[in-house]
Chain A
Amino acid sequence: MKLLKLKLLVFALIVFAAGSAFASYSYEVTVNTSSVSGDSGLIYMNYFNAGGSTSTATVSGFTADATTSLGLQDTGDVMNGAQVVGTLPSNVAFTSTRSASNPNNDYLQAITLGSSTSFLVSFSGPATTATTNPSAASTFSLGFITDTGSWNNIFPPTVSGSNGELFDITLNDGGATFTTTYGGPVTLAQTPIPPSALLFGSSLIGLIGVRRRLKN
């Protein structure tokens, strides 16, 4: 019986590993902007390629409360904007390529903040499946700035990263992903639950079931 348990566990782990290797990543992003409600400026998204493989980040499902309003997209102040396609609230796709002479992929759009905004950001491409190089990565980040002249942040630096961003989502070529929110008003939820995790969970449930049946 112990052998059976071991086999099931190994099976679950294999399924989990396989699922991880081939998963694409999505995060539901929610930003509580109530503390700066009424402020106007620019929403700033950046997909930065630090030597990583080519990958794509797609922002979709942008929603906000009724007091939030979007203005015109600013294409004149961005770096490497050629790799960014789309305009909020519709989908915006960032293609991050290692060969680009500039690792930045900027997106800027005027915004008047209300109490909250949310969107889904999904990653796909080799960076999400490669398993060999943890020293290469792409990082997606979000910030809000007052204007492109000063690049002052609307949110205080106490809740921002060193680049003024409210959060980072990093995809390593090693196959891992990690997030940083700097203690700010941001909620990141990986969604949907990765299929690998589902398989692993179901395997564990099955294993528990087998154990109970044997006990009975």
Chain B
Amino acid sequence: MNKTMKKALAGLAFGLACAVCGTAALAQTTTALLKTPYMIYPVLTSTPGATTSMEVLWQDSGVPTTPDTLSWGTDSTYTTFIQNVQVAQYGTANQCMYTITGLTANTTYYYQVVDSTGFANKGSFITAPDASATSVRFLAQGDSRSCPIQLDALMYAMTQFYSQPGNSDYQRLSIANGDWVSSDAESNWTPQWFSNTNMPDVRAYTANVPINGIRGNHDTSGSYPWGTATYFPKYFPFPYQNTTTITGSGSSRAANATTFNPATVQAWSGLYWSFDYGPAHIICLDEYANMASGSPQYTWLVNDLQNTTKQWKILLYHEASYSAGADGDNGNVLAIEPLITQYNVNVVYSGHSHNYARCGAYNAAQANGDNIALNVPHITSGGGGAPIYQVDQSNTGSWPHVITAWPSLEFMTFDIEGNNLTMTAYQVNGLGNYSNYSLSELQTTPPNQLPPYANLSITPIETVVLHNYANVTSQVTATVGNFGYNHQTKMYNGTVKLTNNGPALTGNVHVVTSGILNLPGIGTADNEYDPQADEETSGDLPTNGGVAVTTPVAQNPGTGKNSPAGSGELTNLTLVNQTGSNNGEPMIQASSTGLGAGQSVTVELQFSNPTNGPIHFTPMILNGN
């Protein structure tokens, strides 16, 4: 090769390099966001100033010439900002993340990410309540995979819900119980959650509501105890507490303990963590990492439960230990049930089966030998977008301890007020035949052929109230009597006499008439909301018009999986003189002035039993205000 040729080649190479650089420079100047801004609340309990932080994440479609600018403030017109910061990409996937700190607790902020095209991607958030707060509200959802139009409709409905007067508090957080996508692949994560133009409501929701959660089996490769996820931690880099990377395959798999690095896109396991939120301690377990007694996750959980001082403890894992089907219950997670009792976890929140269900047992007789924490609702809320499953309330087969269940697209609200936690499940109605559109179908559907969301409405499925009261059943004898049936009123009447055999009780004494179930507001039989009923009411938030629609519920939860004797009894009872409820069971205030040692008080019961179901009484006595 002579010098001329060398010069020519060098010139060509230089030219090519310039062309590449020029192309790159051109791409940098026109980079928009591949994933629009969304938020997580990745705040560990131990982090000082935790409640005044928020983490905003997004992803560029390339490398911009100048970093994107994140601005935030309290001006709802997005005109005046407290601060503007340029955020550099991290890792190798053009991702951006910034933790805003120094905010004021319990305050609404407005933020925007201006990309290199100059476009302002806007959002808002409400900071967490102060750590000493005794009340907080937040949303909850699960199993959004595979039917993106249902997810989009759900998030439209949830946005409408928290936009209603009096509901703005719910915007501050949503907890998610897994199965975000049909499989843990970029091809699912990006269009389903971040950049499908046919799903504007998912993007709007995630820009305004931080989501904290866990992974599900569909977000996972491999299986227990070595299941891994690659893209779930990439897009939701929560502060996982004991991550590992998994090498090998099959029985030769091995785990290497590694500090989680969100910039490293690889197969992670051990994706468990916890956080405080006002009076709540929320624990996010990884059901695909070992959770057997003595495992790192189990040991971490014990330590976490021992150290939390929060009044309310909520436990998340994806596959329920007890559900109404049709997916199977998870036997591995039963190892956790004794800890639920030992450390007074208040509620278990799961998904996996695509419906709403509340399972539980109130006493050992109902548990019938099964490993289930007593008097703790085991909630399934998996109707967040995936194909809806029918429910099995028979308590005769693979799904025992079902108290109530309902198949629908649904989400939940959590509302803590001091000693009371109110959970409501809402059914989203009106999607019709659009429900089961696949992701690819949605991507190819013209926007004008999408369902009219104006027809969407929500109906409460059920409201469950938990009380952080002392259970004094062991010291109070509940004697029933004088029961009979009034043919004139079609009502049953009776009494429960409470006798205090222990030390004096002060304050309110409640009798929970476990065994009489009352579920007003359950959805209509055809699983569709009747808009006519709403028009008859206030016209604000759609409701069922306050009509107590009766639905069969499992009257005798708590038989063994393969022991149907005595189970499967469905009935429909309505208590007339209840003053509240506990864990879905009607509750009557027996005394507001306490119950002295040796003293008795008699409570009258009046209830209807239109289906003539068997009646059982196993009262539980609570003490607290």
Contact = CB atoms under 8 A, between A and B. Distances in A.
Interface of A: 46, 48, 50-51, 79, 98-104, 134-137, 139, 141, 145, 148, 150-152, 161-165, 168, 170, 172, 174, 176, 178, 180
Chain B binding surface SS class: strand
Contact of A136 (B477, B480, B614): B480
A104 B480 contact: no
Contacts of B606: 162
B478 A161 contact: no
B478 A141 contact: no
A101 B613 contact: yes
Nearest to A138: B483
A139 B477 contact: no
A134 B480 contact: yes
B484 A165 contact: yes
Q: Which 7 A-B pairs have the closest CB atoms?
A: A170-B481, A163-B484, A162-B493, A151-B487, A134-B479, A50-B483, A168-B482
Nearest to A103: B615
Contact of A102 (B477, B488, B493, B612): B612
B485 interface: yes
Given A103-B485, A103-B615, A168-B481, 4 more contacts: A48-B485, A50-B617, A51-B615, A161-B482
Contact of B484 (A98, A100, A168): A168
Interface residues of B, number: 26
B613 to A, nearest CB: 7
B306 interface: no
Listed residue (A99, A135, A152, A178) with the most chain B CB atoms within 10 angstroms of its CB: A135
B619 interface: yes
A185 B479 CA distance: 26
A103 B479 contact: no
A179 to B, nearest CB: 9
Nearest to A99: B614
Contact of B618 (A102, A135, A151, A170): A135
Interface string B598-625: 0000001010000011111111000000
Contacts of A176: 479
11 contacts: A50-B617, A51-B480, A51-B615, A135-B479, A135-B496, A137-B481, A139-B483, A141-B482, A141-B484, A148-B487, A163-B486
B515 interface: yes
Nearest to B514: A135
A84 to B, nearest CB: 14
Nearest to A163: B484
Contacts of B487: 145, 148, 151, 164
A139 B619 contact: no
Contacts of B477: 134, 174
Interface string B451-491: 00000000000000000000000000111111111111000
A135 B480 contact: yes
A161 B493 CA distance: 9
Contacts of A161: 482, 484, 493
Contacts of A165: 484
B617 A51 contact: yes
Contacts of B484: 46, 48, 139, 141, 161-163, 165, 168
A98 B488 CA distance: 24
A208 B32 CA distance: 103
B143 to A, nearest CB: 37
Contacts of B617: 50-51, 135-136
B494 interface: yes
B485 A163 contact: yes
B619 A50 contact: no
Contacts of A136: 480, 616-617
A79 B616 contact: no
B479 A174 contact: yes
Nearest to A164: B486
A189 to B, nearest CB: 19
B487 to A, nearest CB: 4
A172 B483 CA distance: 11
Nearest to B616: A51
A162 B495 CA distance: 11
A57 B288 CA distance: 58
Contacts of B480: 50-51, 134-137, 170, 172
A143 B548 CA distance: 32
Contacts of B488: 150-152, 164
A46 B486 CA distance: 11
A170 B612 CA distance: 21
Given A50-B617, A151-B488, A152-B488, A170 B515 contact: no
Contacts of B515: 51
A48 B486 contact: no
B494 A50 contact: yes
Nearest to A106: B485
Contact of B478 (A48, A134, A145, A178): A134
Nearest to B618: A135
Contacts of B613: 101
A135 B612 contact: no
A196 B61 CA distance: 90
A162 B481 contact: no
A127 to B, nearest CB: 12
